[in-house]
Amino acid sequence: MPGIIAVGAGVLLVILFNYFLNLYFISPIILISRGIKNFREYRKSYNVQFDNDDELQDLNTEVKSIIDENKNLKKAKQQHEL
């Protein structure tokens, strides 16, 4: 009987670990990746938002600033060509 409880607790901990890993790390990275892909392929604006206050949020902010800088450089190049 204690073995069954230990296995059940272990499985529960693995499921919870997987859930939180997905929620806080994998999902934001997938959102950032999709946002970049949509910007590059479909010229959609980059407006990815998620509820984290960590390095992934800093990464998202920096990606947004790089994309904004890219837009400004393209506009300047188009104006310069005219």
Interval 28-60: pLDDT, tens: 999 999 999 999 999 999 999 998 889 999 999
- The 8-class DSSP code of residue 47 comes to -
Residue 82 has pLDDT above 90, yes or no: no
For range 7-23, the mean pLDDT: 97
For range 10-33, the mean pLDDT: 97
Mention every residue, 6+ apart, whose C-beta is less than 8 A from residue 59.
32
- Contact between residue 31 and residue 50 where contact means Cβ atoms under 8 Å apart: yes
Q: How far apart are the first and last CA of the chain?
A: 80
